[in-house]
Amino acid sequence: MAFHRITVDVNGQSQVVDITSNMTLLEMLREKLTLTGTKNGCAAGECGACTVMMNGAPVNSCMVLAVECEDAEISTVESLAHGGQLDAVQQAIIEQGGVQCGFCTPGVLISSRALIDRNPEPGDGEIRDALIGNLCRCTGYLRIIDAVKEAARAN
């Protein structure tokens, strides 16, 4: 198996990481950089639990090879809070009761933040479209949608 050394910006910090050719971005984040907020739900790009931002766009990290991340900017759920202050999306999802088991939450938060960064005033349809790749078996989505609207207003 071939090994590679890549340089990648993760949550604003340059990282040099030794990886294998077949390692995914998800595996690199969790196993090499111990950023365990990003979850492995399906390993098939279907559930969205592993969603992170790559160069400003949400991606399923289980479907991206780590070697593709050379010189990329990656933002994980760990990057949302600053100085002990929760991001507006994090605060709103708590206040609206959009968290139950929490497994999908990191991906939902990243997808929601990406949406609000693109469109500070999203409508219900846009929110639903942005979250279509994030499966949640607990909340039923209405509270998540309400949380995204609240976060957009607070942003």
Is 82 domain-assigned?
no
Q: Which domain holds residue 139?
A: 88-154
Among 25, 51, 76, the domain-final residue is 76
Q: Going residue by residue through the chain, which has 155 residues, state the pLDDT in tens, using 9 for 90 and above.
A: 789 999 999 999 999 999 999 999 999 999 999 999 999 999 999 999 999 999 999 999 999 999 999 999 999 999 999 999 999 999 999 999 999 899 999 999 999 999 999 999 999 999 999 999 999 988 879 999 999 999 999 98
For residue 13, is it within any domain?
yes
The CATH number of whichever domain residue 44 belongs to comes to: 3.10.20.30
Residues sharing a CB contact under 8 Å with residue 76, sequence separation 6 or more, in sequence order: 10, 11, 29, 35, 37, 38, 52, 53, 106, 110
Confirm whether pTM is higher than 0.75. yes
Out of 11, 41, 76, pick the residue that ends a domain: 76
Rounded distance between C-alpha atoms, residue 70 and residue 130, angstroms = 26
What whole-number distance in Å separates Cα of residue 88 and Cα of residue 148? 9
Residues 23 and 55 in one domain: yes
